[in-house]
Amino acid sequence: MYKFGKIKVTTTLPERLSGLRDIAFNLWWTWNSEATDIFRDIDLPLWEKLGRNPVRFLQEVSIRKLEEKLSDADFMNRYEKVLNDFRSYMERKDTWFSINYPDYKDEHIIYFSAEYGLNEVLPVYSGGLGVLSGDHCKTASDLGLPFTAIGLFYKQGYFEQRINSEGWQETHFTDLNYSQLPVSPVFDAGGRPLTIYVELAGRVVYARIWCIKIGRVNLYLMDTDVPENNQYDRALTERLYGGDRETRIQQEILLGIGGIRTLDALGIKGTVYHMNEGHSAFMALELARKLVMEKNIPFREAKEIVYSSSIFTTHTPVPAGNDVFPVEMIDRYFSNYWGQLGLTRGEFLSLGAKPGEPNAFNMAVLAMNMAGCRNGVSKLHGAVSRNIFNSVWPDIPEDEVPITHVTNGIHTMTWLAPSFKYLFDKYLPSDWQERINDPEVWEAVSNIPDEEIWKTHNVLKTKMIRFITERLKKQYLHNGIPLHEVNELDSQLDTQALTIGFARRFATYKRANLIFRDLARLEKILNDKNMPVQIIFAGKAHPADHPAHQVIKNIYDIARREGFRGKIFLLENYNMAIARHLIQGVDVWLNNPRRPLE
């Protein structure tokens, strides 16, 4: 029997509240605050205790609390409105896509990514790449795009971060309990768990498929923790970016080749295939292999078909950031594969060969060779990418290398504070959410009185400071910090101080500690009684990135020094919840990476 995790029996919902389950299992609630308010209002202490996870909440909330709400007319009216809004959203036919592209209603976009940042209750993301993937899915849902996403289900997610009493990062891993998450197992027509397989160096590895509903979009995740696999292979999808290079190539084969086989098992045929970073580039080879084997056409023709229907987005600003595998490793994993493409070993290796880098197979180069559309994630990054990959097109001038750019964006409603949504509803055109990219909509912001904007910001800032204070108290107590110092936190974080936020991955090129270059000057600024300043840091360093660990240690040590204590704060275990509070509450966002690395 498949290991599902510790099963939690869900409270039987009163019939009139049965729609709560539909909402809980669709991440539409992550960008609709009125939906989360419904869960919150049923039992606030339990909602907070369970990490604002609606699935766990419905498993543990008392039937008495639910029945009490049945006689609360105001609550029931709000519940009915949320349920109607959700159902209308899901059933809507006049979406942006259907109105603007009616002739493409039968097409389908397939999106591949190694990580998805959807909400903190699903910690299968590490940073910006994952958050972008999650925001892409949400935006695709809002626009009504025919869109399916593919990824891996990491049983332990990324990692939980602790910053110990000496300022060093500690990493901890905990198994996720699938039965407490907004995910559902996928079954085949016979009612059996839907399973696919890939070959890894002479052995067969199986993966079970899970589905996450993101509004109108489905995200399918592969999970190798199934009884058919040996103990080693069951752990293959255990951790995001964990293990060694051997683990990495196995995960990427599963993501790319297994992802296409997942789509086949689901009966989903794509029109366009989008590789978000090079992790999934083996996908293009599997598409070509299917054409060669099923249509009996040569690889050259198959490649042209794949080329015309594939998109590759590169995020990496340095050559060393791309996944590169030694040729001997490619030999072990693909010696039985290139023949199915009708290729020789040399022809296969040339697909991932970057000039000047012998004995290496570059996943970004493979993606570049197999995708007809390629883009960086900003204008500057497009230029950097053309420089990095110029050698792939040696006969083309650098500024004509076929890599363009699409500037990263966000899913507005995920990150916008509900109180600002209220202001926009009040002063912007009634359809502003449908016209977020229309400059005319935002001209109406000038109609919002300055006093209302400032009042709303200060409320959010106060809320953020309360949130941070409570997290820091737990962090300090865990590290054995004296109780009097813990209690001082109540008065240290100042709602009247200019508050600067720095929160992101602690990669060294992001230069989190650059602001400490002139400590004497910074100390003077922070302690100006007439214009006080405080700085809040948060972020994780990859477990293997020891220089980044040193950056965290440096910030911690300075925060404990006289003249900086109570002015510099370092939060542990950065996640999307912390990100939302900081984005919505700080006065100034600090971002000073080394140009042009971001």
* Domain range summary for the chain, segments of one domain joined by +: 15-91, 449-589
pLDDT value at residue 10: 63
Gap between the Cα atoms of 129 and 511, Å rounded: 19
Q: What is the structure's pLDDT at 1?
A: 32
Q: Are 167 and 556 in contact (CB under 8 A)?
A: yes
Q: Are 571 and 471 in contact (CB under 8 A)?
A: yes
Chain segment 323-350, per-residue pLDDT in tens = 999 999 999 999 999 999 999 999 999 9
pLDDT in tens, 71-105: 999 999 999 999 999 999 999 999 999 999 999 99
User: The tokens of 512 are what?
Assistant: 């989190």
Place of tokens 């958050």: 131
In terms of DSSP bridges, do strands 360-362 and 533-538 run parallel, antiparallel, or are they unpaired?
unpaired
Cα angle at 174 between 29 and 506, to 5 degrees?
A: 80
Q: Rounded CA gap, 10 and 60, in Å? A: 7
pLDDT of residue 320: 67
Residue 8, pLDDT score: 56
Closest CA relative to residue 128, chosen from 507, 413, 389: 507
Q: What is the pLDDT of residue 120?
A: 97
| pTM of the complete model | 0.95
| Spans in the chain with pLDDT lower than 70 | 1-10, 320
Strand partners for 311: 274, 373
pLDDT at res. 2: 38
Query: In one letter, which amino acid is 376?
Result: G
Q: What is the pLDDT of residue 20?
A: 98
pLDDT score recorded for residue 9: 57
